[in-house]
A and B are shown apart, each in its own frame.
Chain A
Amino acid sequence: MRAHETTHHVQFVPGSEFKRRAAEVVANPFLKKSFRGAMDFLMMKRAAQFPDPELLERQRDLAEHIRRYSLARLPELLEQLEVNLKKNGVQVHWAETPDEANAIILDICRRHDAKLMVKGKSMVSEEVELNHAMEAAGIDALESDMGEYIVQLAGEKPSHIIMPAIHKTKQQIAELFAEKVPGVSYTEDVDALIQIGRDVLRKKFMEAEVGLSGVNFAVAETGTICLVENEGNGRMCTTVPDVHIAITGIEKVVEKLEHVVPLYGLLTRSATGQAITTYFNVITGPRKPGEKDGPKEMHLVLVDNGRTQAFADEQLRQTLQCIRCGACMNHCPVYTRIGGHAYGTTYPGPIGKIVSPHMMGLGATHVLPGASTLCGACGEVCPVKIPIPDLLIRLREEATHEAKPGHAPMFGQGAGKTAFASFAFKGFAFLYSRPALYRLFTWAATRFRFLTPANQAGWTKSRTPLTPAKKSLRDLLAERSKH
């Protein structure tokens, strides 16, 4: 057993719940409509940003090149990043597991006697369930991105990596604020609702001892982290409190600042159809002597959590090219029907299906790669050209087979194997590789088709029964050649 198997117990909801949850959302006309509407809107906005398909293709090729180059040099770039961050006065920490990451952050908070941590948007902090760890230690971890704040106030989890509260209507948010925020009365006016959030959170930015952020890009050559946002809460979290802790996956590093430019341009256009965000926050160290603001101490926590497993295999390594734009979920027919919560993973949608097995193991996630029509939309819109459908097929294979000889088993290898499926496929192979037996089978199946059961286990739950044809294809072809 590898280290992260023994200590990893963080799980969002069990993978076996996936089908039940998906069915619930599909049966809820309200959620179905809100996701459909939101995804149509995001797809339209993205398309408007890329009017020239040839230029888009060139940009995607370039972005893919940059990400692949960065991953090919990952160990050296991480070392260079660490050296330069330290030179800039940033303290660097490494965590193999969510527990280790949380322990590092908790330790920093305790040293500063922190009671309140304000958080900018960070999917890695969701991935390690930092808020739970902080809560258990008696430290308030407050989300400050408007969408994340709403979701946290409701006691929920984000349903989209870019738009966390996309599943909620303004009426629901109005009710939530009226109920949970002291002194607030019901209003559906979006400007007024945002103003309520602004007023609450501004007080918290002033009070908090620690600010936490994610990282969009880490630059090895300069020891810099870059953050992409529209609201300004990320800047608040990284500037106002005395301590800034950034947390990120080890795959986010690139060599040079110049390499960030094409990636940033594609990230915002692919995510929300914006040419650029309001803020691009480039941080190269804490407050220097003589400076009047900025954090006095800065930390970066680099998290593995299964990423090294993906990295070990050349095909699966492509998973790590991801820049977390969310375009794959916006264009996914499955995500659009079932929303983000049904997946039971921090990262929903197509990217979630290929990244979560490395984090949570195939035991908890083996149904996810199967929940795809392989229509290919995710791969087509991916700005860094991750072949998501190929990786889904690969993971289906890993979920239902033993590791190939010479390959290390994946976390949860073969967890989706069932005796019935193995038996059925063995029978299929036996029958279809013996011509005489196969002919006998089709002869019998076409003649006794009236005996086909109307109830065919899982198949007939939402489909008409499968019945053999009156004549086999073979017979039909034979008849045709006679004429």
Chain B
Amino acid sequence: MSARENIFRKLRAATTAPLPSPDAAIAAHYASLPRTAQADLARVQLAKDFAEKITAWHAEVHIVPRSTWVDKLKEVVAAKGIASLLYAPATTHGKALAAAGVAGLKPYDQPIDGWKRELFENVDAAITGTRGAIAETGTMIVWPDADEPRLMSLVPPIHIALVDADTVVPTLYDAITQQKWSAGLPTNALLITGPSKTADIQQTLAYGAHGPKELIVLLLTGEDAQ
């Protein structure tokens, strides 16, 4: 008999009493948490909470109007001395960057296999979009895809992320249920909360363990929500 058959035989030999599904209890739990309603004012509060929390996780947050984020990005690129900025040319924000002629742009347009070393050694920063954010924990939701691959938010020492203030939800549970994650997950979905870190040496916090050392968030808002 195979290992699989043996394992299932042993598991099925045990008597298990059926238990009710926890679905309703989980929904009730998250509904009972203090949360903001869906009014416009509440949305602003959610975005503020997100910004505050992710700042506490050591991210640098810039709140900028949607129409002028590229200018802000140019400032960041200059201030950080970024010579090579990886971007996703097929995305809306990627097209905006190319149109604005940001200096040092490098497109992620080839499979990684041909330029792994270059990505690891010669790229200063990468800019990606996000699918939303979570107010409770100060977390960004990132779903890499064919246009904007997985390694952009991992390998370059600086990760710049665009978060639209209107996409901030109260909890992870809200994100998963409202966006119907289970109906179609990508090969890789990520929650990112701050730059890479470790406390493995004498419980001393250090940033930039293996992933980005810096996380810069451009939080995009309407013109008057500044």
A-B contact count (CB 8 A): 241
Question: Taking the complex as formed, is A165 at the interface, i.e. its CB lies under 8 A from any CB of chain B?
Answer: yes
Determine which residue in A59, A165, A230 has the highest number of CB atoms from chain B within 10 A of its CB, and name it: A230
A302 smallest CB distance to B (angstroms): 8
Q: Identify the interface centre among A65, A144, A317: most chain B CB within 10 Å of its CB.
A: A65
Chain A residues lying within 8 Å of B17, measured Cβ to Cβ, are: 72
- Known contacts being A194-B198, A201-B210, A293-B112, is A206 close to B14, with CB within 8 Å? no
Residues of B within 8 A of A91 (CB): none
Q: With an 8 A cutoff between CB atoms, is A3 at the interface?
A: yes
B190 lies within 8 A of A261 (CB): no
Interface size on A, residues (CB 8 A): 96
Task: Determine which of B190, B191, B210 lies in contact with A144 in the assembled complex, contact meaning CB atoms within 8 Å.
Answer: B210
Q: Judging by beta carbons under 8 Å apart, are B210 and A170 in contact?
A: no
Chain A residues, Cβ within 8 Å of B145: 291
Do A231 and B209 touch (CB < 8 A)?
yes
| A66 interface residue (CB < 8 Å to B) | yes
Residues in B whose Cβ lies below 8 Å from that of A96: 3, 6-7
B137 interfacial by beta-carbon distance below 8 Å = yes
Q: Are A190 and B210 in contact (CB under 8 A)?
A: no
Contacts of A286 in B (CB 8 A): 187
Query: Which residues on A sit within 8 Å (CB–CB) of B110?
Result: 292
Do the beta carbons of B185 and A258 come within 8 Å of each other?
no
B26 and A261 contact, CB distance less than 8 A: yes
Interface positions, chain B 174-215, Cβ under 8 Å from A, are: 176-177, 181-182, 185-204, 206, 208-212
- Is A276's CB under 8 angstroms from B19's CB? no
Q: Name the contact of A304 in the complex, choosing from B3, B176, B212 (C-beta under 8 A).
A: B3
27 interchain pairs, CB-CB under 8 A: A62-B22, A66-B26, A69-B20, A88-B187, A94-B4, A147-B198, A190-B202, A231-B197, A231-B209, A235-B150, A257-B182, A259-B26, A261-B26, A261-B176, A275-B137, A282-B188, A282-B191, A284-B188, A285-B187, A288-B187, A292-B110, A292-B149, A294-B150, A308-B11, A309-B10, A312-B10, A314-B15
Query: Which residues from chain B sit less than 8 Å from chain A, CB to CB?
Result: 2-4, 6-8, 10-23, 25-26, 29-30, 57, 108, 110-112, 116-117, 120, 136-139, 145-146, 149-151, 154, 171-173, 176-177, 181-182, 185-204, 206, 208-212
